[in-house]
Structure formats: structure tokens, C-alpha cells
Amino acid sequence: MKATETKLKGCFILEPSIFKDSRGCFFESFNHKTFTKLINKEVNFVQDNQSFSTKGVLRGLHFQKGKHAQAKLVTVLQGEVLDVAVDFRKDSPTYLQHVSVRLSSENKKQLFIPRGFAHGFIALTDQVTFFYKCDNYYHKESEEGIIYNDETLAINWMLPKETFILSEKDLQLKKVIELQ
């Protein structure tokens, strides 16, 4: 496995070593010892989540506040997404900067998003199965988010805005200025 740190400190793109033969392929999707060595940090994942989406579904940008903050290791089992991580750590030199990574069942890349980041994705294919590990349990009262189209972030979601499908809850998320 190979890890590449993004421009956002502590946020890594992980690419597995894939072994192919006439039967298909094999790769190790997670190994705690290898993962810890690659990102140089101990992370104890305690919860796995999975979602199914159709093309244009935009989920996010979500995060949990305070002691309930979550680090995430995200991947796509079916289809392709544009995955976005926003540095929301006020003491970070890359505060409010973001990275966008195409994750797919084809490229098998993963993105590690540390605590203190907002996260979201948009489904780029007709069917997407999205899977992620969290290092802290979901806590409804600590849930927060940033509206997907906040001008401060200027995220290019790669699809025409009129094709986006968002939940009512995500349409009510706040702008960065309201969260500062």
C-alpha cells in the first residue's frame, strides 16, 4: 500500500497494491499495522458505515464537533464519487482549504480524513456504494455541517448544479461564516 499526504496536513490518499491474475484481483483494503505506519498515527476505528447513492446525490459537507469529532477512512465499493475533505481546524495553516479526490471501485483509492475536517461526496455514476470507517461513534447532538455551495470554499463538484440531489437536511446546512 502507498500513502500520499495531500496539501492538507494529516489527510492522506491511500492506494493498495493490487494483485491480478486470470481469476480477477486481490488486495488488502485495510491492515491496522500498515495503516498506522503509513500515516504515522494511531487510529482506532470503531464504526463502519455504508451508503448507496445514484448519480448526482451530494452528501455533505458533514462533521461532528468537540469530543465526538470523527476521523474517517473512506472508499467506494461500486461506482465513482468525487470525495471532498475541508480542513475546518481553526489553528491549521490550511484552514478552509479543501482537497477533491476521485474514488472509485476501479482505482480502489481510499482517503483518510482526520478529525477536524468536514467531509462530503457527490456520486458521479448511476450507482455508488460508499463505505467508511470512523474512529468515534456517531453522536446526533454533535452533528454539524457546511452548505455544499458556500462561496468561501468554492468547491467544483464536477456535475451541473441542476443535477444535484440533496436531502432537506443538507440543504439547511450553514455557511462557514455562521460557524466561525
Active site residues per annotation: 62, 132
Closest CA to 116 of 67, 43, 157: 67
Tell me the H-state helices in the chain: 32-39, 168-171, 176-179
Q: In angstroms, how far is the first alpha carbon of the chain from the final one? A: 37
**Angle at the Cα of 2 from the Cα atoms of 44 and 159, rounded to 5 degrees:** 90
